[in-house]
Structure 1
Amino acid sequence: MKVIVQRVRSASLLVNEKPAGNIGRGLVVLAGFCKGDGHADVDYISRKILKLRIFPDDNNRMNKNVLDIQGDILIVPQFTLYGNCNSGNRPDFTEAMVPEEAQGMFVSFEMALRALFPGNLVTGEFGAQMLVNIANDGPVTVMLESHRRATK
């Protein structure tokens, strides 16, 4: 599982040209799933997102997480995160999980976050045409990959 996490001042989402939600200060998370991903990946990434200290403290150091600031989260399915352009100019998506399975994983990801996160959580719609308007803050953008997690 791979996610792009962006610190934002605000964001809004249109799904199939219709308003689907908006958030204030918080995180926009683009989530992609690859073959072999499972619930352990979803659990790891969900917890990591909530603990990610990318918001400034009183000394302007990145020391606070989305829970500390009582922020919001917008999650968007993004299979193109597994597009490989190493050979040619058209992305190859053979690493991406098949859509039927990826949709279930996205639902699991949403449920895992809802179980852990008490704040405003807005979700995109798997397979739909979406327009995401983002006011990046910083900008601060971080990529997390469950397959690269540290083992202790």
Structure 2
Amino acid sequence: MRAVLQRVSRASVTINKKKIRSIGPGFLVFLGISPEDRDEDIQWLTSKISDMRIFSDETGKMNCSVREIEGEILLVSQFTLFASTRKGNRPSFSRSADPKMALPLYNQFITDLRRKSDRPVKTGEFGAHMDVELCNDGPVTIIIDSQNRE
């Protein structure tokens, strides 16, 4: 699993010109799922996101988690995170999980993230074309890969 984690002051998802979800301060998480991903990837990544200390404390130092600032989370599925651009100029998405495999993992990820973060987790719509708006706070953007674990 691969996540792009953005610290935001606000974010929203729109489908067919209708805003379906929005959050205030917290995380916007873009999540990509590969065919190799399993429950252990979900467990590791949801723990990492829940405990990631990239919000400012009273001294301005990045030292607080989303839970500590009582922030929100907006989770958006994004199969393009596993794009391969090795050959030519048209990306290949063969490293992305098939939707039939990815959807149950995505739903399990949502459940686990809600439980571990103890924060509201709003979502986009799996497989839909979405417009995502965000105000990146910082900017702070972190890329996390459960296969790499750096």
- For Structure 1 versus Structure 2, the TM-score category normalised by the shorter chain is over 0.9
Offset of 1:17 from its aligned partner? 2.8
Q: Give the root-mean-square deviation of aligned CA atoms.
A: 1.1
Q: Report what 2:18 is aligned to.
A: 18
Determine whether 1:139 maps to 2:139: yes
SS, match of residue 147 in structure 2: helix
Offset of 1:40 from its aligned partner? 0.7
For residues 72 and 42 of structure 1, what CA distance do their matches in structure 2 show?
19
> 1:88-115 CA distances to partner (integer Å, 9 max, x unpaired)?
1111111111111111111111111122
For residues 84 and 29 of structure 1, what CA distance do their matches in structure 2 show?
20
> 1:70-95 CA distances to partner (integer Å, 9 max, x unpaired)?
00000000000000112111111111
Q: Report what 1:100 is aligned to.
A: 100
Cα distance change on mapping 1:56 and 1:122 into 2, 3 Å: same
Offset of 1:14 from its aligned partner? 1.1
Q: Matches of residues 54-69 of structure 1 in structure 2 within 5 Å?
A: 54-69=54-69
Q: Report what 2:28 is aligned to.
A: 28
Residues paired across the two proteins, number: 150
**Alignment TM-score, normalising by the size of structure 2:** 0.95
Q: Structure 1: give runs of 5+ residues left out of the alignment.
A: none
Offset of 1:13 from its aligned partner? 1.2
Determine whether 1:40 maps to 2:40: yes
Determine whether 1:7 maps to 2:7: yes
Given that 1:23 and 1:120 are in contact with CA atoms closer than 8 Å, whether structure 2 keeps it comes out as no
For residues 46 and 145 of structure 1, what CA distance do their matches in structure 2 show?
11
Determine whether 1:88 maps to 2:88: yes
Offset of 1:18 from its aligned partner? 2.1
Offset of 1:20 from its aligned partner? 1.3
Given that 1:11 and 1:134 are in contact with CA atoms closer than 8 Å, whether structure 2 keeps it comes out as yes
Amino acid aligned to 1:46: T
Given that 2:114 and 2:120 are in contact with CA atoms closer than 8 Å, whether structure 1 keeps it comes out as no
> 1:26-80 CA distances to partner (integer Å, 9 max, x unpaired)?
0000000111101110111101001111111122111111011000000000000
Q: Report what 2:126 is aligned to.
A: 126
Cα distance change on mapping 1:38 and 1:16 into 2, 3 Å: farther
Runs of 4 or more off by more than 6 Å in structure 1? none
For residues 100 and 16 of structure 2, what CA distance do their matches in structure 1 show?
20
For residues 23 and 113 of structure 1, what CA distance do their matches in structure 2 show?
16
For residues 131 and 139 of structure 1, what CA distance do their matches in structure 2 show?
20
> 1:105-142 CA distances to partner (integer Å, 9 max, x unpaired)?
11111111122233221111111111111011000000
Q: Structure 2: give runs of 5+ residues left out of the alignment.
A: none
Q: Report what 1:116 is aligned to.
A: 116
